[in-house]
Amino acid sequence: MNSTSTEMNAFVRVVERGSFATAAGDLGITPSALSKLVTRIEDRLGVRLLTRTTRRLVLTAEGELFAARSREILASIEAAEAEITAASHAPRGHLRISVGTAYAKQILGPLLPPFLARYPDITVELLVSDRQIDLVAEQADIAIRSGWLGDSTLVARKIADARRLICASPLYLGKYGSPRVPADLLQHNCLTLTGFAQFNQWPFHTDEGINRLAISGTFASDNADLLLDAAVAGLGIARLADFVVARAFREGTLVPLLQDTHLSEPFPIHVVTVPGRHRTPRVKAFTEFMISQLDAAR
């Protein structure tokens, strides 16, 4: 790296570690030398990047911007170097992947063993959460995101399509009967997803167009896997992504309902990365592997 990228790397390390002493240990220099390096950057830019207190370091607005841009530039340098050597080296390195709980359990988890067997020089760390994280701030290489993406500086590649299905267990239907028309759902216990109000208005085709039916019930969760477990246990009727219910459908513990009128609302699944990092061999290897495996499973 040249002197500018070296300074950027040092500054980012200070931000990530939250301490000059800890970051200096990582970089093999003294805390005093590292502090002077950051001061030199601030003097050159003519702005304060960090507010130093006795207990912690706080980024200024300019510091936030400089840290974000520095990470992007460092990722691009890493990608460029990796591309040059990719022809003679197998993909390697640590891969941090952000993924939602349902997709992690139902799709990604079963695919990781064959991926790691194919690429033994790659290590994987999963950041499993249903919140949408900041890839740069949390140092994630990849995020797997469901649904339509808004305007973003991230690089996205679609790896699959999904749709939503209304379903219930034979146990529940044996006790309460099957809904024959959408309005029947108002007399049933429907399992709801908290935090996403639009998903609790189930859409149906009608002669007048699309009608959204506001459903309700005795159990709600912000976790699709818990709704799946509740539906399988016979607690009520659920509307979940096809990749969440696929195994239960195969095993017969859930069956689809109202298929002739329900609007399944297809949506894409993307792998997203920060600019530059999408070209690194380990990220490319993971993305291509996911596409090939998901295509084969269709």
Domain at 3-85: CATH code: 1.10.10.10
Q: For residues 287 and 124, give the distance between their C-alpha atoms in angstroms, rounded to a whole number.
A: 13
Per the CB < 8 A criterion, the answer to whether 252 and 111 are in contact is: no
Helix then strand count (H, E) for the chain reads: 10, 14
pLDDT tens per residue, range 148-169? 777 677 888 999 999 999 999 9
Measured between alpha carbons, how far is 134 from 143 in angstroms, rounded to an integer?
9
pLDDT value at position 97?
94
Specify the pLDDT at position 88: 52
User: Which residues in the chain come in under a pLDDT of 70?
Assistant: 1-2, 54, 82-89, 151, 298
Task: For the chain, give every domain's residue range.
Answer: 3-85, 94-154+268-296, 164-256
Cα–Cα distances (Å) from 69 to 5, 11, 72, in that order, read 11, 11, 5
C-alpha dist (Å) from residue 118 to 46, 50, 140, 284, 286: 49, 43, 22, 14, 10
Q: Which CATH number fits domain 164-256: 3.40.190.10, 3.30.43.10, 3.10.20.30, 3.30.465.10?
A: 3.40.190.10
How many residues are there in the chain? 298
> Which residue type, as a one-letter code, is found at position 132?
Q
pLDDT at 54: 67
Same fold, 94-154+268-296 and 164-256: yes
Considering the domain 94-154+268-296, what is its CATH architecture?
Answer: 3-Layer(aba) Sandwich (3.40)
pLDDT for 151? 60
